[in-house]
Amino acid sequence: MTIAIETGAMSADLWKLDTKISHLQHSSVRLKGGLQLPIAESLNAETGRIEPLPVHSIDLQLFDNAAELKRRMSIIAMHLPISLRDTIRNQVDRLLSLEHWEEDSSLVSSLSFVTFLRFLVHSKAVKLPGLGVSPLAHVLASWHDGNTKLLVNFMPNEKAKATIIRPSDRRDAKAEDFEITGWQGNVASLKHFLARNEVLHCIE
């Protein structure tokens, strides 16, 4: 947007213009799952009136969300193995397809997705995770290796929560006993947590 101001003087009408511009910040009702009920408005420059924007259908919102995630992935795509890249792309398409969309499904936060991608490159993960979405639109990734499960909730702004579930190694443990180890912190430290707990084999 360019604003051409030809004089240095501020007109009283500028305040009205500013009010109208601030209206351009769309108002909308956010539904469960991140879908937006679009009651957005925009300034029609020809009439000077505030008018509703066209309604975006669910399939368009899903397409846009998938497109944004793929765009984010393209930024670091050269550092991901091709098989991993293709699998993630297919899983994104599946998670955000109208066909698989259910009432309690969520759109995916692109910032959470970026945290997930940064972990993949940093940890040099080669095993393919199963992907899901939390009610807060965070990426949930799960890796399995034998009896060990690794579940990670990737949040926006470099944060992550990880849970390791594996058979208990206590002497008196029964076959069905499991040990659960939790962690929360900056995603740059997640690989150290996995190494410390000797579960890197889940991702490598």
Partner 1 sequence: MVDSRDLANALIDNEPYIGRLLIVMANLRKMFAYDKPPITEAVISLHLGNSVKQTDLERFAAKQKASFPRSETLMEHNFKVEENKRPQASIAKRGIRLTSKEQDRIIMVDSTQFAVIHLAPYKDWSLLFEDTKTQWKRFVGVTGEHNPKRISTRFINRIDIPIEDGGSLNLADYFAIGPSLPVDIKALVMDEFHLAFGLLDRSKSFKHMLQIAKIPNSPLIDHVSIAIDIDVFSLAVLPLKDDELWQIVYSLRDLKNDLFEACITDKTRELFR
Where along the sequence are the contacts to partner 1 (CB under 8 A)? 1-7, 9-11, 13-14, 16-17, 43-46, 48, 63, 67, 70-71, 74-79, 85, 89, 114, 118-119, 121-122, 187-188
> Whose Cβ is closer to partner 1: residue 121's or residue 140's?
121
> Which residue do the tokens 């944004």 mark?
68
Q: Do the beta carbons of residue 138 and residue 127 sit within 8 Å?
A: no
Instruction: State both tokens at 75.
Output: 């930024």
> Whose Cβ is closer to partner 1: residue 79's or residue 201's?
79
| Cβ-based neighbours of 29, under 8 Å, separated by 6 or more | 36, 37, 39
> Whose Cβ is closer to partner 1: residue 51's or residue 177's?
51
> Whose Cβ is closer to partner 1: residue 13's or residue 176's?
13
Q: How far is the CB of 172 from partner 1 (least distance, A)?
A: 41
Q: How far is the CB of 45 from partner 1 (least distance, A)?
A: 4
Is the dihedral angle over the CA atoms 19, 21, 22, 25 positive or is it negative? positive
DSSP state letter for 158: T
> Whose Cβ is closer to partner 1: residue 39's or residue 67's?
67
Phi, psi of 108 (to 5 degrees): -110, 130
Q: How far is the CB of 154 from partner 1 (least distance, A)?
A: 13
Q: How far is the CB of 52 from partner 1 (least distance, A)?
A: 16
Q: How far is the CB of 6 from partner 1 (least distance, A)?
A: 5
Q: Do the beta carbons of residue 155 and residue 112 sit within 8 Å?
A: yes
For residue 197, the number of C-alpha atoms closer than 13 Å in the C-beta half-sphere is 21
